[in-house]
């Protein structure tokens, strides 16, 4: 079940703008993951973070594993229309918990 | 690397029949496979976790006699929805972990089940 607080729930932005979303938890996790899901598809892993404080980039995406191990953020720079979708955070220790998702809409 | 496939991608069946969904890890041996259900505009709901050769562990509220999981090998898990009802209609997604010795899950493309 969901034990992660993901925000915002949705975002409507203009193409070219930067995007930031985050997840917080009352529990500590060993791994933080960020996925993107397109309609009718399974989630695709974007970034995996394994150490507290770790900052990792994947193209225009940057994610960080919070120092307290209870939070993570994902930034998308210079958004493009194909960034549209739902972004899920996930924290993993013994099992994996998901956030409720951030629905991103990018206007051309 | 880390490709997971699902078959079929969509299926329509009549009430009372059974439907089998296959999940395969194509380029790695999955230590664990997971089955999720997703309702429209909602997050993923874990149904069960399975390891090869052992019985699946079901989440609370998921009927193990209705959702039969068989994890026959390190690359194949199947979910059978038995005696399907319209309320079983949903998007079912599997995932697999174990790629590169890590535990993150790689997801299949999902199966859209419609029970009429």
* pLDDT single digits (tens) A51-104: 999 999 999 999 999 999 999 999 999 999 999 999 999 999 888 899 999 999
Q: What was the pLDDT predicted at B41? A: 84
Question: ω into residue B101 within 30 of 0, thus cis?
Answer: no
Residue of A42, A49, A90, A101 for testing the chain B interface, max B β-carbons within 10 Å: A42
Whether B99 shows a pLDDT value over 90: the answer reads no
Give the whole-number percent of chain A exceeding pLDDT 90: 92
For B85, the token pair is 């009802």
Model confidence over B13-58: pLDDT tens digits?
Answer: 999 999 999 999 999 999 899 999 999 888 899 999 998 888 899 9
**A24 class by beta-carbon count within 10 Å (0-12 exposed, 13-18 middle, 19+ buried):** middle
pLDDT for the residue B101: 73
Predicted local confidence at residue A103, as pLDDT = 96
- A78 to chain B, closest Cα gap in Å: 26
CA A17 to each of CA A51, A68, A79, B94: distance values in angstroms, whole numbers, following the listed order: 29, 29, 5, 34
Q: Are B90 and B19 in contact (CB under 8 A)?
A: no
The DSSP output letter for B59 is P
- CB-nearest to B110 from A41, A88, A100 is A41
3-state secondary structure of A81: helix
State yes or no: pLDDT of B1 exceeds 80.
no
Q: What is the pLDDT of residues B76-92, one digit of tens each?
A: 999 999 999 999 999 99
Answer whether A91 touches B (CB < 8 Å). no
pLDDT tier, A6 (very low <50, low <70, confident <90, very high otherwise): very high
CA A10: distance to chain centroid?
A: 12
Instruction: Please list, in sequence order, all residues whose beta carbon lies within 8 angstroms of the beta carbon of residue A72, skipping any fewer than 6 positions away.
Output: A22, A23, A32, A34, A49, A63, A64, A65, A66, A89, A91
Q: How far is Cα B94 from Cα B107, in angstroms, rounded to an integer?
A: 6
Separation of alpha carbons A61 and B51, rounded Å: 33
Structure-block tokens of residue B69: 């999981």
Considering only CB atoms, A43 lies closest to which of B45, B102, B107, namely B107
Residue A1 clears pLDDT 60, i.e. is over it = no
């Amino acid at each position: 079940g969901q034990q992660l607080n993901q925000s915002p729930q949705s975002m409507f932005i203009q193409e070219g703008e930067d995007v930031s979303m985050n997840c917080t938890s009352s529990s500590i996790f060993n791994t933080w993951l960020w996925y993107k899901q397109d309609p009718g598809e399974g989630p695709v892993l974007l970034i995996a973070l394994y150490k507290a404080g770790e900052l990792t980039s994947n193209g225009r995406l940057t994610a960080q594993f919070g120092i307290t191990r209870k939070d993570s953020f994902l930034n998308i720079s210079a958004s493009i229309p194909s960034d549209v979708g739902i972004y899920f955070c996930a924290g993993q220790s013994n099992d994996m918990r998901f956030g409720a998702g951030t629905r991103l809409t990018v206007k051309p | 690397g880390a490709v997971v496939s699902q078959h079929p991608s969509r299926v329509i069946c009549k009430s009372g029949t059974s439907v089998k969904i296959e999940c395969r890890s194509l380029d790695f041996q999955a230590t664990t496979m997971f089955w999720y259900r997703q309702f429209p505009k909602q997050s993923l709901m874990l149904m069960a976790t399975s390891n090869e050769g052992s019985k699946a562990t079901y989440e609370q509220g998921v009927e193990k006699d209705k959702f039969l999981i068989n994890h026959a090998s390190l690359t194949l898990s199947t979910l059978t929805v038995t005696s399907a009802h319209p309320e079983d209609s949903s998007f079912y997604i599997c995932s697999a972990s174990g790629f590169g010795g890590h535990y993150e899950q790689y997801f299949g493309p999902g199966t859209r089940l419609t029970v009429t």
